[in-house]
Amino acid sequence: MMDFILLGIGRWVHIAAGVMWIGLLYYFNFVQVPALADAGKDGTGAGITKHVAPRALFWFRWAAVVTWLAGALLLGHNFFKAFLFLDRAFYAIGLGAWLGTIMIFNVWVLIWPNQKKILGIVSATDEEKGKARRVAFLASRTNTMLSIPMLFFMAAAGHQGIFFG
Amino acid sequence: MAAVQSVETRFHLEGIRMKNPLDSLWGTVISGLVLTLILYNVVKYALQ
């Protein structure tokens, strides 16, 4: 029963939260940023920045936390074996876990604090907002780039024989 | 977006003006695929 809760339900939660996290990451990069660029030309971006972005960011950053915690729960006593590459069987998942960890760092340390300045949740000068835009943008794009190998290694981890011979 | 692109979007390397690949979506996706290929080979080598 405990295995079912940890490995079954835990895996389901990990994947569902991961879909929400990476789905919203792709929404920001593939939809919202280009949409705001167009909206900026005719001054119609307020609806997105006021009503959509804060809600999307809420689910985005908390989905990241749930994904990471559920992943750590799934690794269980193999957590350090995976993160420290102590066992060959955990090389692929260890690399995926490291990429995911870098990504959650970017979410909470680079993207969210800077988005708070951009969206006016905390006060900032125009110069600070300009810098915040650039840092949040590059951190978000970095996460989009890292998500590609991260998803590959997450998928490959359960099938190391097929992927790595 | 204009503000985003106006701040340090380009850098110079030996006189050649280069663009950050992360400034474009295609550059981001291609960088991710290249990184996947590199890391895949690193893991494959480590598992041999």
ipTM for the complex shown? 0.91
In this structure, the dihedral spanned by the alpha carbons of residues A134, A139, A142 and A148, taken in order and rounded to 10 degrees, is -130
pLDDT interval class at A105 (50, 70, 90): very high
| pLDDT tens digits along A39-71 | 999 999 999 999 999 999 999 999 999 999 999
Asked if residues B35 and A95 have their Cβ atoms less than 8 Å apart, the reply is no
A165 chain-B contacts, CB cut-off 8 A = 44, 47
How many Å apart are CA A72 and CA A115, to the nearest integer? Answer: 27
Question: What is the structure's pLDDT at A161?
Answer: 83
Residue A17 has pLDDT above 60, yes or no: yes
Total domains in chain A come to 1
B15 phi/psi in degrees, rounded to 5: 85, -10
Contacts of A60 (CB under 8 A, 6+ apart): A20, A21, A24, A25, A28, A107
Asked if residues A141 and B24 have their Cβ atoms less than 8 Å apart, the reply is no
Instruction: Inform me whether the C-beta atom of residue B4 falls under 8 Å from chain A C-beta atoms.
Output: yes
> Minimal Cα–Cα distance from A29 to chain B, Å?
8
pLDDT interval class at A6 (50, 70, 90): confident
How many Å apart are CA B38 and CA B31, to the nearest integer? Answer: 11
DSSP state of A8: I
Among A157, A6, A12, A159, smallest CA distance to A85 is for A157
CB–CB of B4 and A134 under 8 A?
Answer: yes
Instruction: Inform me whether the C-beta atom of residue A145 falls under 8 Å from chain B C-beta atoms.
Output: yes
Name the residue range of residue B39's domain: 2-47
Number of H helices, E strands in chain A: 10, 0
Residue B2 has pLDDT above 60, yes or no: no
B35 chain-A contacts, CB cut-off 8 A = 145-146, 148-149
DSSP state of A28: I
CB–CB of B32 and A91 under 8 A?
Answer: no
Residue A2 has pLDDT above 90, yes or no: no
Of A37, A85, A95, the CB nearest to B1: A37
| pLDDT tens digits along A131-160 | 999 999 999 999 999 999 999 999 999 888
Question: What is the structure's pLDDT at A14?
Answer: 97
Q: Is A70 exposed, middle or buried (0-12, 13-18, 19+ CB in 10 A)?
A: buried
CB–CB of A152 and B31 under 8 A?
Answer: no
Question: What is the structure's pLDDT at B7?
Answer: 47
Of A36, A91, A146, the CB nearest to B46: A91
pTM of the predicted protein model: 0.89
Total domains in chain B come to 1
CB–CB of A145 and B44 under 8 A?
Answer: no
Name the residue range of residue A157's domain: 2-164
DSSP state of A6: I
